[in-house]
Structure 1
């Protein structure tokens, strides 16, 4: 089945992201207005802004999304779980958490799996995406992270925070898709600013895109373009 790259279909794959530390209420409000106008999948914000976003998006198909343990993943599981539960209580329908990257590098896979599971348990009913920060991992570590996320019941694995040494790459998306199989979501995030890059990520296996450049991307997408895998 061909993947559609028309603006409407492409917009439905985009988490419209505003995660900069100096984001104002006015900027977050504008992002919500843009998401409603263009039909983005969600608006992804820091936890402090979830209640505002959920209120602005209420009654629409656009979801409120928040990040947990962001951007380092170095908080305790207890705090990550509490943060996730609070975000859901404030109206988040989707949660993007950062794994304990150091524990994974140490080979403490039980700790990484338990960390993900704690957040999964805290946000039952919400979509859970697990950020593995692929730019900091070896390929074997990326595969391990994907397996742990899948085993813990996450809905997606996600490439990057966009705040580390690199963002999404086509190779990483393809590796993650191969590891989790056809049914789990793969989110590409970090450095996705053009239609060409967005298309490459989707062709590699991404089913969601995290970007603050969604309007520019769909602006490049020709209506009725249904080329792709």
Structure 2
């Protein structure tokens, strides 16, 4: 697969304005990225702007902490889909997972997936807060759900994707796919993620990656 179609071209900063989103959209069109990943407030605008392209619109749910109620995440998802979102990146409830409430995690993922109405759903598990054994366990949980992907990171935690975590995810998530996000700054990073099982890359540095330069990583 071409590198451009691995990339969710991302802008999730709190202070983003129409100017930044327009720049993101122009870059996505120029490089024909897989998607733009934006905060929910920008979904409708991006959907309209990209309607004559094959660039998808991805948005984030329960972002960046994952501590919203399930009901809130379901509403966010329904709203995002109604505004045109093609893909949903949800943050799982990290605290509930660390408490060992695995039934809660499985249920919230399935409820969001149902609300997404057959759209791609990626579950962000925020690996910087998990041990290798916990990454294995959460991958096994995601494998049992109706989600499409497991995703490493929000980009707002203490660190981002690692090739080691991607490998653990790939080995334990069954037929689900893996998205690596956060810290993918150059082609070596990207290749490391792909070689260990990632089929999607989340980055704000997509243009620099396409040019073979050092990027910002998320």
The question of a shared fold, defined as TM-score above 0.5 by the shorter chain, is answered with yes
1:203 matched to 2:204: no
How many residues matched? 213
Could you say what secondary structure the match of 2:52 adopts?
coil
Could you say what secondary structure the match of 1:66 adopts?
strand
Q: What corresponds to 2:31 in structure 1?
A: 38
**Shift in Å at residue 91 of structure 1?**
0.6
**Shift in Å at residue 101 of structure 1?**
0.3
TM superposition score normalised by structure 1: 0.91
Q: What corresponds to 2:179 in structure 1?
A: 187
Correspondence 1:104-123 to 2 at 5 A: 104-123=97-116
Could you tell me how far apart the structure 1 residues matched to 2:189 and 2:31 are?
Answer: 19
Q: Which moved more, 1:116-125 or 1:141-150?
A: 141-150
Q: What corresponds to 1:67 in structure 2?
A: 60
Q: What corresponds to 1:151 in structure 2?
A: 144
Could you tell me how far apart the structure 2 residues matched to 1:95 and 1:149 are?
Answer: 15
**Shift in Å at residue 193 of structure 1?**
1.4
Superposed structure 1 runs of 4+ greater than 3 Å apart? none
Could you tell me how far apart the structure 2 residues matched to 1:115 and 1:105 are?
Answer: 15
Could you say what secondary structure the match of 2:211 adopts?
helix
**8 Å Cα contact 2:142-2:173 kept in structure 1:** no
Task: Mark the runs of 5 or more structure 1 residues left unpaired by the alignment.
Answer: 222-229
Q: What corresponds to 2:156 in structure 1?
A: 163
Q: What corresponds to 2:10 in structure 1?
A: 17
RMSD: 1.1
Could you tell me how far apart the structure 2 residues matched to 1:214 and 1:154 are?
Answer: 25
Task: Mark the runs of 5 or more structure 2 residues left unpaired by the alignment.
Answer: 214-218
**Shift in Å at residue 150 of structure 1?**
2.1
Instruction: Report which structure shows greater RCO (CA 8 Å, sep ≥6).
Output: 1
Could you tell me how far apart the structure 1 residues matched to 2:21 and 2:68 are?
Answer: 25
1:97 matched to 2:93: no
**8 Å Cα contact 2:58-2:88 kept in structure 1:** yes
1:140 matched to 2:133: yes
**Shift in Å at residue 147 of structure 1?**
1.8
Could you tell me how far apart the structure 2 residues matched to 1:72 and 1:91 are?
Answer: 24
Could you tell me how far apart the structure 2 residues matched to 1:107 and 1:179 are?
Answer: 18
| Superimposed CA distance per residue, residues 84-125 of structure 1 (whole angstroms, 9 cap, x where no aligned partner) | 110011010000000010011000001111111110110022
